[in-house]
Amino acid sequence: MTFMLGVQFANAQQFYRVKADVSIKDKLSNGSYRLTVGKVYYDKTSLKVIYKLTFPQKETIIIKDTTLYKITKDSVLVQSVLASNEFSIFHLALSGKLADYGLNSGNVAKIYKISKVEKDKDGRVITTWSVVEKQLMKTLGKIKMANVNKKLDAIAFYDAQDKLLSQQFFKEYSNYNGVEFPKQVTQISINTDGTQNIQQTTYKNIIIDQEDENESYNYPIPTITKPKQSAKSPK
Amino acid sequence: MKSIIISTIALVLALTSCQQKQYAYVQQGKVENFESSRKVTQSQVANQTKNEITSTITNNINETNQLAASEVLVLNEETASLNNNISENEVLVYNQESINSNFEKLNKVEAFVEQNTEASFETIKNTDLLKDIELDTNTSANVTKDNDLPLNIPAFLWGCFLGGLGILLVYIFTEDKEQTKKALYGCLTTGGVVAVIYIVLIAIGLSAGTL
* Domain residue limits, chain A: 2-217
> For an interface test with B, which of A27, A33, A88 has the most B Cβ atoms less than 10 Å from its Cβ?
A33
Residues B131, B161, single domain; the answer is no
CA torsion B138-B143-B149-B152 (nearest 10°) is: 30
**B185: containing domain:** 147-211
The answer on B128 and B166 residing in a single domain is no
Shared-domain flag, residues B163 and B177? yes
Domain end point (choices B61, B84, B107)? B84
Q: How many structural domains does chain B have? A: 3
Is B115 an 8 Å CB contact of chain A? no
User: Which of chain A's residues have a Cβ under 8 Å away from the Cβ of B133?
Assistant: 32-33
Best mutation target, A55, A73, A88, A92, to test chain B (most B CBs within 10 A): A55
Report yes or no on whether pTM surpasses 0.90. Answer: no
User: Which DSSP state fits A209?
Assistant: S
Summarised one tens digit per residue, pLDDT across range A165-188 is 999 999 999 999 999 999 999 999
B 131-160 residues with CB < 8 A to A: 133-152, 154-155
Q: Using the beta-carbon criterion (under 8 Å), do A26 and B140 form an inter-chain contact?
A: no
Same domain as B108, residue B167: no
Predicted confidence (pLDDT) at residue A124 exceeds the cutoff of 90: yes
> A2-217, what's its fold?
outer membrane lipoprotein receptor (LolB), chain A (2.50.20)
Tens of pLDDT, residues A187-221: 999 988 889 999 999 999 999 999 999 999 999 98
Q: Say how many CA atoms lie within 13 Å of B90 toward its Cβ.
A: 6
Alpha-carbon gap, residue A145 to B207, rounded angstroms: 62
Kindly state whether residue B139 falls inside one of the protein's structural domains.
Answer: yes
Highest mean pLDDT pick, A22-31, B60-69, B184-193: A22-31
Asked if A32 lies within 8 A of B135 by C-beta distance, the reply is yes
Which residues in chain A have their CB less than 8 angstroms from residue B173's CB? 84, 87, 108
In this prediction, the answer to ipTM > 0.85 reads no
Cβ contact A82–B152 (<8 Å): yes
Query: CB under 8 Å to A31, separation ≥6 — which residues?
Result: B134
More confident residue, A156 or B163: A156
Give pLDDT, residue A13. Answer: 64
- Considering CB atoms only, which of B135, B139, B173 is closest to A59? B139
How far A10 CA sits from the closest chain B CA (Å)? Answer: 22
Among B60, B84, B108, give the residue marking a domain's end: B84
Residues of A in contact with B156 (CB under 8 A): none
CA B48 to mean position of chain CA atoms: 43
- Contact A131/A142 with Cβ under 8 angstroms? yes
Answer yes or no: is pLDDT of B154 > 60: yes
Tens digit of each residue's pLDDT (9 = 90 or more) over A149-170:
999 999 999 999 999 999 999 9
CA distance B169 to B34: 31
Q: What rounded mean pLDDT belongs to chain B? A: 65
> Does residue B151 lie within any of the structural domains?
yes
Residue B89 lies in a domain: no
pLDDT band at B158 (very low <50, low <70, confident <90, very high): confident
Q: Cβ contacts of residue A183 below 8 Å, gap of 6+?
A: A171, A172, A173, A174, A202, A203, A204, A206
DSSP structure string for A116-158: EEEE-TTSPEEEEEEE--GGGTTTEEEEEEEEETTEEEEEEEE
